[in-house]
Amino acid sequence: MNDKNLSEAIKNIIEKELKAISKLLPKEAISNIESKISPQVEKIIDQSGYIKKSKYKNLEKIINELENRISELEKN
């Protein structure tokens, strides 16, 4: 499951559980709650050993560049 799907699934669960309350709250309040909860959820996901696909791709790019540099240095 990629990071977008995981975040969306968590969001859907929270929305489902808070549906009764959301009828009483304005949409701005719900958006505010989401913006405050989202970073905390991402932090929990990171602590569980998962990372975003974009972060993985960036790390993979750095690793490949370092491997290429090491190969070039070994040739010299």
Instruction: Per residue of the chain (76 residues), give pLDDT as tens.
Output: 566 677 778 778 877 777 767 677 777 877 787 788 888 877 887 787 777 788 889 999 999 999 999 999 998 7
pTM score, whole prediction: 0.45
Cα gap 47→69, rounded to integer Å? 31
Phi–psi pair at 67, nearest 5 degrees: -60, -40
Cα gap 2→70, rounded to integer Å? 31
pLDDT at 2: 62
Let me know the angle formed at the C-alpha of 19 by 13 and 23, rounded to the nearest 5 degrees.
155
pLDDT at 34: 77
- Contact assessment for residue 23 and residue 67, using Cβ atoms and an 8 Å cutoff: no
Query: Residue 70 is part of which domain span?
Result: 3-75
In the chain, the number of structural domains is 1
Cα gap 57→74, rounded to integer Å? 26
